[in-house]
Chains A and B, each alone.
Chain A
């Protein structure tokens, strides 16, 4: 899996740290490789590379929120409604979280407001 310039995505430190936790478990590593395809497509959509995305999101909270909004919109066209869409969105969110971003961790925004 490479970026637009032919550089392997796994060469990026942000991707390496995201992949890291999953590599000791072969089943999990297989899943991560599938998620890597989603991440590559998201980066292509952003016309950016993983490290740059993380650097921008780290430096600027608004940029991070823009990425999250953009992710929400992108998955609607990227994957069919249902499990496939949730998994695609979660794959990219997990990339941000693994790189120290504080992003929404709730699976569904409606779920946690029942008691309010």
Chain B
């Protein structure tokens, strides 16, 4: 699919076809795309445990659903991807190793001052980096462990954004759910065999949408000019109507929710799955 169409078509899907299995190849394609997500220092702190609902024994399946409060989409989706951030790989020594690796593969330019000696001196001894190179001595030297957790989580969240788009590109519906209520995070780690050091990020539900893939239209968004500024905070970035028209033609900008007959669709889905029609 065209990139803009994928972004425009993306919705959080909350009703899945329980009866349509997701080919494992499609899950691999999502993971392959996610593996190439952008990441500072090439740390790659994202980890995922893919759970196929129908491979679980009844007790485990029920427990994983119960800790997510039996959310409708979770009970219906045939594939659950549990995303975790590994702060262990966002520690200074790993940052040093990965950035040296980036120099060696020709990604970080030596011309800007990047080399094994400057990287190690900056990270290990807080030596000022040469002009042209990032000031990693202030960012990475003595990095507190709790900041490693933050770094690992923010990079994993970014990777999840790509995973969501990759799923849409495969013609699938997807949603990012909480992994569990906070008090149950450790239990889920135990069930999935996730190391204690890892931080929970999202449970990505994947399946074929039972609702219309457009799910009633694009969700409300704040005005462009209130989100994006030019030069200084508060100065709206100009929004050119002709660009907006082009993006509408290219599939990025679509009709806003709720579209016609959306509420009838929701009633019908509720009936189909045995929920109150609301």
Q: What are 21 inter-chain pairs, A to B, with CB distance below 8 A? A: A27-B23, A28-B23, A28-B171, A82-B55, A87-B21, A90-B19, A90-B20, A90-B21, A93-B19, A97-B19, A105-B17, A105-B18, A107-B54, A107-B75, A108-B58, A108-B61, A111-B70, A111-B75, A112-B273, A112-B274, A114-B66
B residues contacting A by CB (< 8 A) are: 17-21, 23, 25-26, 52-55, 58, 61-62, 65-66, 70, 75-76, 78, 170-171, 210, 272-275
Known: A111-B70, A112-B273. A105 touches B55 (CB 8 A): no
Instruction: Determine the distance from Cα of A115 to Cα of B75 in the docked complex, in whole angstroms.
Output: 13
Q: How far is the CB of A61 from chain B (nearest CB, A)?
A: 16
Is B274 in contact with A115, judged by CB distance below 8 angstroms? no
Q: How far is the CB of A68 from chain B (nearest CB, A)?
A: 12
Is B61 in contact with A31, judged by CB distance below 8 angstroms? no
User: Chain A: which residue is nearest B61 at the CB level?
Assistant: A108
Interface residues of A in 69-103 (CB under 8 A from B): 82-83, 86-87, 90, 93-94, 97, 102
Is A27 in contact with B21, judged by CB distance below 8 angstroms? no
Is B23 in contact with A31, judged by CB distance below 8 angstroms? yes
Instruction: Determine the distance from Cα of A25 to Cα of B21 in the docked complex, in whole angstroms.
Output: 14
Q: Mark A2-46, 1 if CB is under 8 A from B, else 0.
A: 000000000000000000000001011011000000000000000
What are the nearest 9 A-B pairs in CB distance?
A86-B54, A107-B18, A90-B19, A83-B54, A94-B19, A83-B55, A93-B19, A31-B23, A111-B75
Known: A27-B25, A28-B171. A112 touches B75 (CB 8 A): yes
Q: How far is the CB of B236 from chain A (nearest CB, A)?
A: 41
A31-B21, A106-B75, A114-B70 known, 7 other contacts, Cβ within 8 Å: A27-B25, A27-B170, A28-B23, A30-B23, A82-B54, A90-B18, A94-B17
Is B171 in contact with A107, judged by CB distance below 8 angstroms? no
Is A94 in contact with B274, judged by CB distance below 8 angstroms? no
Instruction: Determine the distance from Cα of A99 to Cα of B40 in the docked complex, in whole angstroms.
Output: 50
Chain A contacts of B61 at CB under 8 A? 108
Most buried by B among A25, A86, A93, A107: A107
Q: How far is the CB of B55 from chain A (nearest CB, A)?
A: 5
